[in-house]
């Protein structure tokens, strides 16, 4: 069973917002990363993804389920418990995410520098 998710996993210092690519929609890649080491409950995902409203998180998870990237398992308990897990297909995205991360480590600083340099001349 996996450890608890680090609340600061996707903090602003993590430049995921500046990356020039996106897997699925805005939160898909982060969800995949959260599920990498085992299933997670809805509330668990909300910890590192506290910037996402439950509505959007639900929408994203439903879309991922529809695309065969995650499974949703609801246990008939009280209080309710729902677990999300990566499918084999969803797991294949990890390779791509890792490639994106490697690109970022290697080249994102250069991109951001270029953005800075071009941002200044047009700034008021």
Partner DNA sequence: CAGAATCCAATAAGATACTG
Partner DNA sequence: CAGTATCTTATTGGATTCTG
Token pair of 60, please? 């994203």
State which of residues 6, 22, 58, 73 lies at the interface with a second copy (CB under 8 A).
Answer: 22
Maximum alpha-carbon separation in the chain: 60
State which of residues 37, 41, 81, 107 lies at the interface with a second copy (CB under 8 A).
Answer: 107
Scanning residues 51 to 90, which ones bind DNA (CB under 7 A)? 51-56, 58-62, 72, 74, 79-82
Q: How far is CA 29 from CA 12, 73, 101, in A?
A: 16, 20, 11
**If binding means CB under 7 A, how many residues of this protein chain bind DNA?**
24
14 binds, among a second copy, DNA, none (CB under 5 to 8 A by kind): none
Backbone φ, ψ for residue 72 (5° rounding): -120, 125
- 105 near a second copy (CB under 8 A): no
43 binds, among a second copy, DNA, none (CB under 5 to 8 A by kind): DNA
Token pair of 21, please? 């690519």
- Give the containing element (helix H, strand E) for 124: none
Phi-psi region of 24 (alpha: psi -120 to 50; beta: other; left: phi over 0): left
DSSP structure class, residue 8: T
Query: CB 5 → DNA: shortest distance, Å?
Result: 12
Query: CB 100 → a second copy: shortest distance, Å?
Result: 7
Residues that bind DNA (CB under 7 A): 25-27, 41-44, 51-56, 58-62, 72, 74, 79-82
């Amino acid at each position: 069973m996996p450890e608890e998710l680090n609340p600061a996993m996707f903090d602003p210092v993590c430049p995921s917002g500046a990356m020039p690519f996106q897997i699925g929609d805005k939160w898909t890649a982060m969800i995949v990363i959260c599920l990498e080491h085992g299933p997670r409950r809805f509330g668990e995902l909300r910890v590192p993804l506290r910037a996402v409203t439950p509505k959007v998180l639900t929408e994203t998870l439903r879309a991922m389920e529809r695309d065969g990237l995650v499974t949703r398992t609801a246990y008939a308990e009280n209080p309710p418990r729902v677990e999300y897990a990566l499918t084999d297909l969803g797991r294949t995205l990890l390779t791509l995410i890792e490639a994106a991360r490697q690109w970022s480590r290697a080249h994102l600083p250069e991109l951001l520098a270029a953005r800075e340099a071009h941002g200044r001349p047009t700034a008021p």
